[in-house]
Structure 1
């Protein structure tokens, strides 16, 4: 169990760092806005009070340190997704990682953003309430493919 937890943490953090580097690349190369984890932190903090869905997270009461909470939540989710990957792959996968399982997990986890986080923050299912919904969806898919690649690369590095 300790090995599972350690691998989940290392692979999840590594993949999330790679995801964040991808976002930094997009920002610098194409001028796309970087991730703002403060609204996610606000949403996460409201979960503790049982509030999941908001009409607009920007209008919800703020919390102290919500940016830090957003970053922590972001990395915890990366660790959770790595744990899911390790739980659904055959026992020897961590010692001899293959590419397809982490790519599948990366793509499947887009659903968490589309059907929980984005509606929860008031953006609608798959950002349907945003004027640039298709751009957001494409970037979500690309980002989660990068995250899946990050799961794979990190698993290779720590095997």
Structure 2
């Protein structure tokens, strides 16, 4: 019984907080600016980190395999993983909301990045290739996160956002 009462209180608190934003154009504008800033900064750092990771993955593969013959395989796996994750994150976002989809995608990208590190430590090409496939989730998610900036934008601001 207490759990239900706590849930109702939390729900009422959220409704009150949301209502303050609905009724206040100033608060809406401040939230929009803050959201756009956070999305922009995350795009800069996320994009740079993901690009560096793919480059490092290709260099690790070259070192492990001892040849340049398969230098494109890491990038191809990364791209394939990104395509699959775009579909997965999109579906999850439709069912559970953008936050759940983006969170899942970024976590998978992080798991892939950790896998790349372990593959280098263990000198495992198989683990490297598998990790790069999962690492692609980070790129797909980073690209989809750009649209979070448009969620709060008014109709006239959507192109700029």
The TM-score bracket by the shorter chain reads 0.3 to 0.5
* Structure with the higher helix share, 1 or 2: 2
Higher relative contact order (CA 8 A, sep 6+): 1
Which structure has the larger Rg?
A: 2
TM-score where L is the length of structure 2? 0.39
